[in-house]
Amino acid sequence: MPHTHLDLARLEDLPLSQRLLARSACRPDADPKLIERVLSKAGRSPLFPEEDRALLTLCYHHLVSAPIPTANDLENPATLPTAQRSFWRAAAAAHAIVRMKTMAQCIAPEALRELWDCLLPWSVFIYDNWVNVPGMRPPGRRETYANDLFMLVAVIAPDDLRALFDWPAAYPFLARHWMHLAGGVRRAEVAEREIGPWNSFLSLFRCLKLSNSRRLAAFLGGIDDSDRVAAKLLVKTIRYRGLHCVPDLDGLHAPWSYPLVCTLQFFELARKLSPGDTAHWRLRRAFLSRDLHFVKLLVSILHNMAQSRYSDSCSRDIMEIIAVLLRTSPDMDEHAAEALDTGLLLVLVRLMSLNEEDPPAMLRVFKAVLSALEDVCAVSYVAARALRTARQSVASEEFRLSPEASAVWAAFPTAPFATELAAVEGNMIAWSRLCHNSTCGTSVPQSNARKCSGCGVASHCSVACQESDWRNGGHKHLCTVYARSPNFIDTRVQPFRFHQRRYLAAIAHRQYSLFLPEILVAQAELLAADSSLDTTTTPASVLATIIDTTTRPTGFRVLPASEASAGTVWDSAVPPGAPGGCPSSSLAWSVADAVLGLAVEIRKMGPEQTGDGDGEIVPRRCRELAARTGWDVEYSLPAFEQSV
């Protein structure tokens, strides 16, 4: 029996002639032509408005009373007429329902759920057997019906929509229809016509919250009966849409980028599947392990979008695409990740520069860029090398960099650790010292700190920490080095807690690893230029490498440790008259712990100690300089990096 909100008594609201016609169409033995005559007017005639629940009752009656045929019913001549009649009744009713765009607002949620429970099984059967029922030609086209269906469910409230799809066959049906849409993009002439249905279908991903592994696995399970898996098909979809549609972007509905955004977000959700799920390895193989060609294609798509006349309206979608690509960059190989980092930065800079004539739009895009960069903490580690090359290519471009575009250059390399830097700088404790014992890290007031009597630099919170740091923390070997420059650790640059110090150590050490070849060359050149750096004394002379990851993220300085006092580096790094009194956190750490985290020992060795040992990194230019100056050099990172 129909739900109370779909009672046949509501047919009394119709005029007499139409009421009699509708009652006749509700009969199980009603003539198909009569049913088609009534239902074809649904939503298209003043006599049958979209809001009329009597028509919903009529549609519901045929869906619930017509049994879904089986394969045997379609093959058995005795049952074929009944199967044909049921198919016709249900197909006509389903077509009428999907044309009622305001159905969700017309009836109660309970009635909508009951109607959907009848519509969805029939929709699956109709879609799969559109031309397989002998002697039957359904009204309309299968593509039109499926598109109308997804247009309809797209306007339903998200909570109601998720409830409607708690049916096992819903996700395979979604998957099969999606395969049809994705396959259609091969035909360039239908690409524009299918933009609307594609957008409506992809909007279901957001509404259904497919981040739930069970739902996502159910969706992918509707396609994995063959080698044409979801991942491969979606990759192919992006390829075809990128190749056929982007050059003609101005002729499409703006913004075109919405399908691409939804598609990439879907794959970002798919990454959350556990490795044991069937679809996980397919996704990783077909999409997440993106090759260099595919990355270049995506970058070219974004580049064309940034140059189109819809660049302002597409800017938000461009930022979302960039954020998704950056978050998935660790799954790429090194060359693809480097191409991605370089290409995306070029897109951002060009977007900044081309919008100069519209300051409000430029400001909105710029804020979106910075917001996306601050939210992303997984930029690949090869970005720094790629950015240096990108700067040279951008400098030779014809367009002029705007101030906002120049700011993007500085923001991009610091994106991976922007959150950590903000957390450290936001929790600085003024006028206090950090216990030098690496296993303690307690912050103590300056008046209560116990300074080392040997160097007058290292501070400890207790006698026990002094003894522990002397025996096991390495201070016994560093005390003499600290004594050469009593101001090496200054009050202004020592306000970090233990967990903050570890963040900064990791950040600075990563930058140090990126620039290691250039740093080694700079060290060798410094040795060749300064004859006073003689390491015949013990302990060996130490060259401190200062890296400022905030104000100069791609630069470094190499200088003798005796010159690396806090005041010297602070005065050279901060312009005169700069506000504050609080140094940047990365600069402060570089000065305070240069010996611990970034120092490189350069020892003078005899001829018997020459050669390439394990762990030695001696570039060819360093070898040439060393040979010219009579030095043999050994480079080693301190053991401190193992604790980071």
Note the pLDDT of residue 555: 58
| 275 assigned to some structural domain | no
Note the pLDDT of residue 468: 83
| 508 assigned to some structural domain | yes
The residue from 128, 144, 160 where one domain ends is 144
The boundaries of the domain holding residue 444 are 424-498
Strand partners, 547: 556
Total structural domains within the chain = 4
Same domain membership, residue 487 and residue 580: no
The residue from 109, 124, 144 where one domain ends is 144
Same domain membership, residue 45 and residue 107: yes
Three-class SS state of 150: helix
Same domain membership, residue 543 and residue 404: no
Contact 105, 155 (CB under 8 A): no
Same domain membership, residue 386 and residue 344: yes
Q: How far apart are CA 124 and CA 169, in angstroms?
A: 8
Same domain membership, residue 381 and residue 341: yes
Same domain membership, residue 305 and residue 392: yes
CA atoms within 13 A on the CB side of 350: 23
Note the pLDDT of residue 316: 60
What is the residue whose two structure tokens read 């972007």? 249
| 120 assigned to some structural domain | yes
Q: How far apart are CA 264 and CA 261, in angstroms?
A: 5
| 37 assigned to some structural domain | yes
Strand partners, 467: none
Contact 512, 546 (CB under 8 A): no
Same domain membership, residue 511 and residue 483: no
Q: How far apart are CA 436 and CA 449, in angstroms?
A: 10
Distant-in-sequence, close-in-space partners of 279: CB < 8 Å, separation ≥ 6: 216, 217, 220, 221, 224, 229, 230, 231, 270, 273
Same domain membership, residue 639 and residue 508: yes
97-136 b/e (C-beta count within 10 Å ≥ 16 → b): bbbbeebbebbeeebbebbbebbbbbbbbbbebbeebeeb
Note the pLDDT of residue 95: 73
Q: How far apart are CA 174 and CA 201, in angstroms?
A: 8
The residue from 474, 498, 522 where one domain ends is 498
Measure Cα distances from 469 to 437, 442, 461, 495 in Å: 5, 13, 11, 19
Note the pLDDT of residue 7: 43
Distant-in-sequence, close-in-space partners of 479: CB < 8 Å, separation ≥ 6: 452, 454, 455, 458
> For the chain, first and last CA: distance in Å?
69
Note the pLDDT of residue 245: 40
Please report which residue ranges of 99-169 form alpha helices under DSSP H.
103-106, 109-128, 142-154, 158-164
Same domain membership, residue 624 and residue 580: yes
Same domain membership, residue 545 and residue 440: no
Helix (H) or strand (E) holding 375: helix 359-375
| 169 assigned to some structural domain | no
Note the pLDDT of residue 435: 73
| 30 assigned to some structural domain | yes
- To the question of pTM greater than 0.85 for the whole model, the response is no
Nearest to 339 by CA among 293, 304, 374: 293
Contact 221, 172 (CB under 8 A): yes
| 248 assigned to some structural domain | no
Same domain membership, residue 19 and residue 67: yes
278-297 b/e (C-beta count within 10 Å ≥ 16 → b): ebbebbbebbbebeeebbeb
| 187 assigned to some structural domain | no
For the chain (644 residues), the mean pLDDT of every run of 10, in chain order, is: 43 56 61 64 48 64 80 82 81 73 57 71 74 68 66 58 56 59 43 47 52 51 42 48 39 43 52 46 47 62 64 61 59 60 64 56 57 46 45 49 54 46 43 63 70 78 85 68 50 43 51 62 66 45 52 57 50 45 38 33 30 36 48 35 28
Same domain membership, residue 541 and residue 471: no
